[in-house]
Copies of this chain bind each other. A is one copy, B any other.
């Protein structure tokens, strides 16, 4: 069982241009700090949050109950000029959980409904409900192949195109949610998939993008534990030159 949350800044578009357009760098630093706030809070409870569109932040929130979500909302309301509404849901796959969370949010009102303020809707799972699987992907020798060779924008668009292809494939074929987390790293929240499937994902995406890459796969009681195991898997893959390494999650919360 996966629990997903969508955080959506209330009526943000209109706010950014009222009474007149606000400077872009003010908006960028506001969005970055708001994300850091949410990522810190969720990470502290062994979940993961992803920037995505900045005004819509997606999180994997197994073990966070509705109280915790509301506490985060209240704390944001006390420290930022904007409020966030929250949709939460549980699903058999990451895709299903997020679809549910998005539906909960929409049921609370439009993103530009100026009467919707800091609502929180949805279902949360029992703290013990199941495990999370994380696939941590990165590009083989990205520094040599890309960063030290092409200009910064070409590297960026190459990585984005690879990420986009990977994310859409994982979403459509494997009910997974993949997020770019900087550098040449992609973190995907997946249902249980076997080793062969990961090899197949790599083959298909590499053939379309001409970018060779690896994955470490971890499983654990929380996203954090699964993610740490995945990172260790990726390290092992680099050292032993394997494209897919699967690792069980750390039994204790290794920080």
Contacts and interface: CB of A to CB of B under 8 A. Distances in A.
Interface of A: 6, 8, 12-13, 17, 20-33, 35-36, 39-44, 48-49, 51-56, 58, 67, 70-71, 74-75, 77-81, 95, 98-99, 101-103, 105-106, 110-112, 143, 147-153, 155-157, 159-161, 164, 167-168, 171, 177, 181-184, 187, 224, 227-228, 231-232, 234-235, 253, 255
A27 B232 contact: no
- Number of identical monomers bound together in the oligomeric complex: 4
Contact of A26 (B43, B52, B149): B43
User: Taking each of A105, A111, A183, which has the highest tally of chain B beta carbons within 10 Å of its own beta carbon?
Assistant: A183
A153 to B, nearest CB: 5
Given A152-B58, A255-B70, A21 B95 contact: no
B36 A71 contact: no
Contacts of A56: 147, 152, 155-156, 183
Contacts of A224: 23-25
User: Taking each of A20, A32, A184, which has the highest tally of chain B beta carbons within 10 Å of its own beta carbon?
Assistant: A32
B23 A53 contact: no
B231 A21 contact: yes
Contact of A32 (B26, B39, B80, B99): B39
Contacts of A36: 28-29, 32-33, 36
A17 B110 contact: no
Q: Is the interface of A mostly helix, strand, loop or mixed?
A: helix
Contacts of A168: 157, 161
A183 B13 contact: yes
A155 B99 CA distance: 11
Contacts of A23: 43, 74-75, 78, 224, 227-228, 255
A151 B99 contact: yes
Contacts of A110: 143, 147-148
The 8 closest A-B pairs by CB, nearest first: A25-B43, A54-B182, A21-B231, A102-B151, A26-B78, A32-B36, A29-B36, A32-B32
A182 to B, nearest CB: 3
A171 B128 CA distance: 45
